[in-house]
Amino acid sequence: MSTDGWLPIGDAVTDRWTVLERDWQSVLIGAAIVALVVLFELQIPW
Amino acid sequence: MNGRRLLPGLLALCLGALLARTLAGALGVNHLLLAIAFGFVAANAVGVPDCLEPGIETHKLWLGTGIVLMGASISLETVLEVGGVVLLLVVGVAATTLLVVELLARNVFGLADRMGSLLAAGASICGVSAVVAVAGSIRAREEQIAYAAATVLLFDAVTIVVYPIVGDLLGLSGMVFGTWAGVSMFSTGPVVAVGFAHSEAAGQWATMTKLSRNALIGVVVLAYASYYARAAGDSRPSVRTLWDEFPKFVLGFLGLAVVASAGVLSSAQLASIENAYNWLFVVAFAGLGTEIRLADLRTTGWTPAVVVLIALLASSALSLAALVLLF
């Protein structure tokens, strides 16, 4: 299957992300990390 | 594509963080301060190659994300218990610092009004971010912004070294040291770094106090914009400025603090989130170190530096005395 169809979606997501204020980007990345830890019991070592 | 442009710098940040984390134990120094030192040495000894800059510039994003995740480790009970007193102290110290810098700059050292206002905002609220935010609202000149930002960065570099030494010498508790750093140091990154370098509790108090202080930026920008607009006979800025300047990651921090306090997260999940923000902080601080450029610091004029030094000494001594008496 061609991956060309996904390119516009990827570009749109990148565009949306780029115009987002940095503070909101931090909140979204934080939320994504919490979601990964909670949903998949992801263990992050130190 | 954007991601490809960021990758080399991001890898450099991760490498710096890994090195700091690995060597800190062997050298007997704090990993956060070591990460800042690596960034500082790399930027000033060999310089940052152009290909690494886009990725390294993301360090503020990682600091913000780390602060959001730190919300999971906050005890809302403790915050509510002593939060009112700390909040009063934050507002009191910020207002005092702002007034002292304005008075010294205008009446004693004869600096230009806008220069004094940029220094006052940087010293009283949140360092370079406040300088830039206020500069936009009062139409400050480019060289005034550069001067004020360099002065703030100079004191960021000095306080990163001096605060931990004073904290150890005085044997301050985590709560007192963290709150002291949060109310009196300038930029968020150095505050979080010296806080966690002291202890986990100090890091949490330093971050919470600093976030409360940062939240005042909207009010300060609005006040300055109104003052200078009225002086120039322009129309007043809208209250929307308050929201535009508000540091939104504070909302993520508070949201996660509420979720964690509700007992939704297991202890294993909380440990993973804590490890995640510890890693994000080391990565962010490796990038922060690259922003301390000796060449920029040398361009700082002595007059702005003296004004800010006097204000810092006053706010630092007063807030420490108040904290030791209260707690």
- B109 backbone dihedrals φ, ψ, rounded to 5°: -100, -5
- CB neighbour burial string for B116-149, b if at least 16 within 10 angstroms, e if fewer: bbbbbbbbbbbbbbbbbbbbebbebeeebbebbb
| Residue B226, pLDDT score | 86
Dist CA B58 CA B288 (whole Å): 10
Neighboring chain B residues of A26 at a CB cutoff of 8 Å: 61, 64-65, 67-68, 249, 252
What is residue B113's predicted lDDT score, i.e. its pLDDT? Answer: 93
List the single residue in B2, B72, B248 with the smallest CB-CB distance to A27: B248
Residue A14 Cα, gap to closest chain B Cα (Å): 8
CB contact under 8 Å between B268 and A41, yes or no, is yes
Kindly indicate the confidence band of residue B2, based on its pLDDT and cuts at 50, 70 and 90.
low
CA distance B117 to B303: 14
User: Which of B130-134, B191-195, B208-212 has the largest mean confidence?
Assistant: B191-195
Region of B172 (left: φ > 0; alpha: ψ -120 to 50; beta: rest) is beta
Q: Which of B81, B117, B59, B120 is nearest to B279 (CA)?
A: B59
- What residue in B sits closest to A44 (Cα-Cα)? B272
Q: Which residues of chain A have pLDDT under 50?
A: none
SS3 B208: helix
Interface test with A, best of B74, B192, B273, B281 (most A CBs within 10 A): B273
Per-residue pLDDT reduced to its tens digit, B87-126? 899 999 999 999 999 999 999 999 999 999 999 999 999 8
Residue partners of B116: CB distance under 8 A and separation at least 6: B101, B102, B104, B105, B106, B307
Lookup: tokens for B259? 């979720």
Amino acid of residue B7: L
Residue found under tokens 């510890």: B278
CA distance B259 to chain A (A): 11
- What is the pLDDT of chain B when averaged over all its residues? 89
pLDDT (0 to 100) of residue B201: 93
- Check residue B124 and give its pLDDT: 95
Distance CA B304, CA B310 (A): 10
DSSP B312: H
CB pairs under 8 A between A and B: 68
Interface of B with A in 92-151 (CB under 8 A): none
| Interface list for A 7-46 with B (CB within 8 A) | 14, 18, 21-27, 29-31, 33-34, 37-38, 41-46
Per-residue pLDDT at B229 exceeds 60: yes
Q: How far is CA B149 from CA B109, B111, B156, in A?
A: 18, 15, 10
What ipTM score was computed for the predicted complex, to two decimals?
0.85
Average pLDDT, stretch B140-150? 83
DSSP structure string for B107-130: IIS---HHHHHHHHHIIIIIHHHH
Q: Looking at residue B33, what is its pLDDT?
A: 83
Q: What are the distances in angstroms from CA B64 to CA B61, B70, B189?
A: 5, 10, 9
Mean pLDDT computed over B159-185: 96
pLDDT digits (tens, 9 = 90+) for B260-300: 888 899 999 999 999 999 899 999 989 988 988 888 777 66
Is B75's pLDDT higher than 80?
Answer: no
Confidence class for position B237, pLDDT limits 50, 70, 90: low
pLDDT > 80? residue B64: yes
Least Cα separation, residue A38 to chain B (angstroms)? 7
Predicted confidence band at B235 (pLDDT cuts at 50, 70, 90)?
A: low
User: Which single residue is written with the structure tokens 């061609």?
Assistant: A2
Q: Which carries the bigger pLDDT value, residue B179 or residue B154?
A: B179
Question: Which of A27, A44, A46 lies closest to B251 in CB terms?
Answer: A27
Please name the residues in contact with B327: beta carbons below 8 A apart, sequence gap of 6 or more.
B82, B173, B175, B176, B179
Contact assignment for B275 to A45 by CB distance below 8 Å? yes
Nearest CA in chain A to B266: A38
The per-residue pLDDT for A2 is 57
Closest CA to B151 of B119, B187, B114: B119
Q: Which of B126, B134, B148 is nearest to B307 (CA)?
A: B148
Most A CBs within 10 A among B1, B32, B265, B269, hence the mutation to make, goes to B269
Pull the structure tokens for residue B154.
């100079």
Nearest Cα residue to B186 out of B120, B133, B231, B244: B120
What are φ and ψ of residue B227, in 5° steps?
-60, -50
Structure-token pair, residue B147:
């001067």
In DSSP notation, B150-184 reads: HHHHHHHHHHHHHHHHHHHHHT--HHHHHHHHHHH
Range in A12-26, B77-91, B174-188 the model is least confident about = B77-91
In the structure, what pLDDT confidence band is assigned to residue B209 with cuts at 50, 70 and 90? very high
pLDDT of residue B266: 93
Share of chain B above pLDDT 90, in %: 53
pLDDT at B10 (0 to 100): 96
Indicate if the pLDDT at residue B1 is higher than 60.
Answer: no
Q: Is A6 on the interface with B (CB under 8 A)?
A: no
Closest Cβ opposite residue B275 in set A21, A26, A44: A44
CB within 8 Å: A22 and B251: no
Nearest CA of chain A to the CA of B248: how many Å?
5
Q: Is B68 on the interface with A (CB under 8 A)?
A: yes
Nearest to B60 among A14, A22, A37 (CB): A22
In the predicted model, what is the mean pLDDT of residues B185-199? 93
Q: Is B246 left (phi over 0), alpha (psi -120 to 50) or beta?
A: beta
User: What average pLDDT score do residues B200-205 get?
Assistant: 93
Which chain A residues have a beta carbon less than 8 Å from that of B248? Answer: 21, 23-24, 27
pLDDT of residue B135 exceeding 80, the answer is yes
B77-114: burial string, b at 16+ Cβ within 10 Å, e else = eebeeeeeebeebbeebbebbbebbbebbbeebebeeb
For B264, the enclosing helix (H) or strand (E) is none
- Please name the amino acid found at residue B69: L
Q: What is the pLDDT of residue A4?
A: 65
Q: Which amino acid is at B269?
A: Q
